[in-house]
Amino acid sequence: MSNRFKHISLTIIRYLLNTITGTVVLFMSLWMSGPGIAETDEPTYRLYFMLGFVLWAIGAFLQIKPSMRKVGVILTLIPFLFWVVFMAMAVYS
């Protein structure tokens, strides 16, 4: 496998990873930070659930610089894995 083909395939995998994890993290963060179901008339927004998306966005921006690419991938995976484990615990408990 040539070095150029390896670089292109890793770039495509990284873009797919960012797209899938970003979609899941954004959807779950928006869903959990919403008002939810309450018995009062005033909606309660929990903006601290958006911190996962902020962490994902920082990781995505760090991937632009080649020297910080590995750190960026790890930072994008942390909130994604949090939501996956959170949903798995909710389903299987």
Instruction: Convert the pLDDT of each residue in 4-48 to its tens digit.
Output: 777 788 889 999 999 999 999 999 999 888 877 767 776 777 888
Residue pLDDT, tens place only, 65-79? 999 999 999 999 999
pTM (2 d.p.): 0.84
The pLDDT mean for the chain works out to: 89
Q: Are 58 and 73 in contact (CB under 8 A)?
A: no
Cα gap 26→49, rounded to integer Å = 10
